[in-house]
Structure 1
């Protein structure tokens, strides 16, 4: 039972079943000692501190006094233990179980820039965690899930940051065939590439829903003889181009943000402009005089396809092949664009199934899930109930997600309205005009290093172009990389 009493300093302190959750003598001093001993090393004083188990603002107050410029996110594990407004204003966020959903709070206050650039510290007040263990376990699980998702994004940024920007530049300059959606109506069927997609062949072949394909499902769909209505592509890496090569001869639209792999230049169909809301991307689309379709940035193309579909119709969206785990030793639907890599050098002493077994054992030891697949399932698990219940998961795998499961009906039972997507071509400025506009944008961005380094555009470029832990000044280093990009653009010629 929660109760309160006065400490020797006159401050009110909480007790749980008669046991004090902070010092009975001087709670503020104990909180300050804890903060000073917990936050040290490379933490930047202007970073973000997330407190789990704050008590009447004692820990948040100690952080504010110790690090005045810090942004504070204070999580109380009981609604009677929350207090607000310690003079930090917009740099303080408070939450208790009676507040808005925690996932939304965490998404809004912890992002890649905070973890990589600004600095982040997590404080766990153990007496509170012990006293409210059930709530604490749920809160900590959501924090861990959010950080796993961000770490997945950070891994992508570290691996593809410079390529991300170069892809955007190339995809801004060269494609000529763009389109917009002129008509859309559901239902929509999304084809992912999990092993269960093989069980849905008849349903996909005969379904009247508009078919939205992830690139990794194209080999299967081509073999099935079903041409998708649109392909969704969001990956900046090499394998995106490999998957997209399976669309050769398919003159269907490709929905893609500018940062995706430059393989879209070789796609025979038109490009549907997509923006994930990042400043550099938004600036480039504005230079093309194009209003892109806005889809939030996601860690997986399957999530992008879901939000794309939900934005076009109020009808439920069916997704097939969203397994997020292996089926025995099989990671993907068959056939798949990775099959040649698995089959390479297969022989009597190195059979295919042995190779697949070793690969599945080494990459997905937990429930047949690789770290990336676990990150994807974490992301889907955090979807709001209203959104999740508009998504129907066909023949679901053993990995639980918040989507209502459905079983594929017999082809003779398939009915309902016909989904439809229609497109209209749009014109874009010439290559030379685009190049001139881009060079000017890069010049303006480079000057931001000294004039406006806190602008959203320069902050994004710094995040993508400046490696973590670099000894050089991050702003000057970023300006140098922008100059390098400008020289690359200057040498580009129309093909």
Structure 2
């Protein structure tokens, strides 16, 4: 149905879609004002997403009532793109279906990580545009839920992330970078399906070269079957994450990127690790060559640039599975094959075996709590874990336009049916990614931590982006971007190290 503009009784235009009026037929301005007065916007909300407001009579009232909030308008149709009567120019950004990017990309681009968002629905549009409106509503709600989950994680781990970042930079011995290749990449998560596909991975490596990028939690299962990944990935900020990395720090492998002359006199090194700067890494991982991942925050970027540490910038997506896919897309232009990214358990199996946290069950087993009982309880927790569904929904969107490049190894994936399942990998190119180590000078760790703290404080005081840095660090320390001044941030960050607020 093609919308039409018709005059209201007081003269302002209203919009008609079929037999459905989008605005009042008598006084659209008064209707919009009453609508805005009835809104209950959370005080900590920074972004207001208005879903198909028609001509947008409500936008100026929202702007006046909530002057400190960004207004994003989402349209269900392109009709209003060139309608002069629309109030879209009062919004900060407007999205139309036939724009250059899809809706989720638009939201990720326009809404900074850690920002609270609120969806405002213009109900007459829901009736007029039906399923079209509902599809957009689903995407926005999925985005808001995912960001809310990320914010909750940040509020719980923020202080630890700051401390992890400083300590990881101080310990870093072998920063890594790469030149992208074109060969197939196999991405492994630690889901139960990995056990079924390990024979297929092993067979693939006998037939030709492939780059294996493994979630750190899947590394023990791969090493058990004598499969050494090209790169593992760790993003978790919790102390338990280091148990997944114990075997990696013991397995050595000389990089093919080194010539024999360069390799002479050098220690043989473990296979490399791609790690978020704020991940938890214990001291035994310091020798592992590391591809540093920055989350794009100003404070992380400033430190990395000042230290001249190579890094790759990726958004925080809340799950290591998404980060591995991002890395795979950067490492190769060839096809990507996934396995172990189940987003679900299988009966009582929550992970492929062996698993770095198996000892957790062993320690708790007794005659009142046998192993099967503990595993069943864990499976129930995973089955009701909302984040799994949130991230599965995100992957459904992410994979939807990449079906010619991303495949599933083994049987059809129950959550991602759009991806083709294969049992053999095909090669169109044999050029592997090249990894390069840029060794750093070793020194006293405490002195290096102190130097990094001083550098961070200096940037917080003198950088042109110091206000953005203040908000980022305030949010990590308190969960509120406006809670702390620069001097209070400096004191709290110093206390993290001098008073041992966070152990590890």
Do they superpose with TM above 0.5? yes
Q: Which structure 1 segments of 5+ residues have no match?
A: none
Distance 2:88 2:78 in 1: 21
Name the counterpart of 2:266.
Answer: none
Distance 1:379 1:87 in 2: 31
Distance 1:331 1:397 in 2: 19
Please tell me whether the aligned partners of residues 193 and 216 of structure 1 are also in contact (alpha carbons under 8 angstroms): yes
Q: Does 1:254 align with 2:273?
A: yes
Q: Which structure 2 segments of 5+ residues have no match?
A: 252-269
Distance 2:403 2:152 in 1: 27
Residues 242 and 419 from structure 1, CA distance in 2 versus in 1: closer, same or farther, beyond 3 angstroms? farther
Alignment of 1:368-407 (within 5 A): 370-383=385-398, 385-395=400-410, 398-401=413-416, 404-407=419-422
Q: Secondary structure at the match of 2:484?
A: helix
Name the counterpart of 2:484.
Answer: 475
Alignment of 1:242-391 (within 5 A): 242-250=243-251, 251-263=270-282, 265-266=284-285, 268-347=287-366, 349-365=368-384, 370-383=385-398, 385-391=400-406
Name the counterpart of 1:425.
Answer: 437
Between Structure 1 and Structure 2, how many residues are aligned?
473
Please tell me whether the aligned partners of residues 229 and 421 of structure 1 are also in contact (alpha carbons under 8 angstroms): no
- The match for 2:191 among 190, 194, 199 is 194
Name the counterpart of 1:110.
Answer: 111
Distance 1:288 1:304 in 2: 24
Name the counterpart of 1:214.
Answer: 215
Quick check: 106-115 or 206-215, which moved more? 106-115
Residues 428 and 487 from structure 1, CA distance in 2 versus in 1: closer, same or farther, beyond 3 angstroms? farther
Greater RCO between the two (CA within 8 Å, min separation 6)?
A: 2
Deviation at 1:464, TM superposition (A): 1.0
Name the counterpart of 2:55.
Answer: 56
Distance 1:339 1:454 in 2: 44
TM-score, L = length of structure 1:
0.85
Distance 2:490 2:449 in 1: 15
Please tell me whether the aligned partners of residues 189 and 341 of structure 2 are also in contact (alpha carbons under 8 angstroms): yes
Q: Secondary structure at the match of 1:401?
A: coil
Q: Secondary structure at the match of 2:115?
A: helix
Name the counterpart of 1:77.
Answer: 76
RMSD of the TM alignment (CA)?
A: 3.1
Distance 1:217 1:405 in 2: 22
Please tell me whether the aligned partners of residues 55 and 86 of structure 2 are also in contact (alpha carbons under 8 angstroms): no
Name the counterpart of 1:465.
Answer: 477
Please tell me whether the aligned partners of residues 47 and 69 of structure 2 are also in contact (alpha carbons under 8 angstroms): yes
Deviation at 1:224, TM superposition (A): 0.8
Residues 300 and 211 from structure 1, CA distance in 2 versus in 1: closer, same or farther, beyond 3 angstroms? same
Q: Does 1:149 align with 2:146?
A: yes
Name the counterpart of 2:493.
Answer: 485
Please tell me whether the aligned partners of residues 395 and 405 of structure 1 are also in contact (alpha carbons under 8 angstroms): no
- The match for 1:456 among 458, 468, 485 is 468
Please tell me whether the aligned partners of residues 78 and 96 of structure 2 are also in contact (alpha carbons under 8 angstroms): yes
Q: Secondary structure at the match of 2:245?
A: helix
Please tell me whether the aligned partners of residues 190 and 317 of structure 1 are also in contact (alpha carbons under 8 angstroms): yes
Alignment of 1:33-182 (within 5 A): 33-40=34-41, 42=43, 47-81=46-80, 92-99=92-99, 100-115=101-116, 120-181=117-178
Quick check: 414-423 or 248-257, which moved more? 414-423
TM-score, L = length of structure 2:
0.84
1:13-67: CA deviations, max 9, x gaps?
Answer: 11234343321121011101101111456366xx322111301121223213433
Deviation at 1:486, TM superposition (A): 2.9
Quick check: 92-101 or 242-251, which moved more? 92-101
Please tell me whether the aligned partners of residues 172 and 286 of structure 2 are also in contact (alpha carbons under 8 angstroms): no
Deviation at 1:150, TM superposition (A): 0.6
Quick check: 90-99 or 298-307, which moved more? 90-99
Deviation at 1:421, TM superposition (A): 4.7
Quick check: 482-491 or 193-202, which moved more? 482-491
Distance 2:400 2:359 in 1: 40
Deviation at 1:220, TM superposition (A): 0.7
Q: Does 1:234 align with 2:235?
A: yes
Name the counterpart of 2:456.
Answer: 442
Distance 1:333 1:419 in 2: 30
Q: Secondary structure at the match of 1:311?
A: helix
Distance 1:85 1:464 in 2: 43
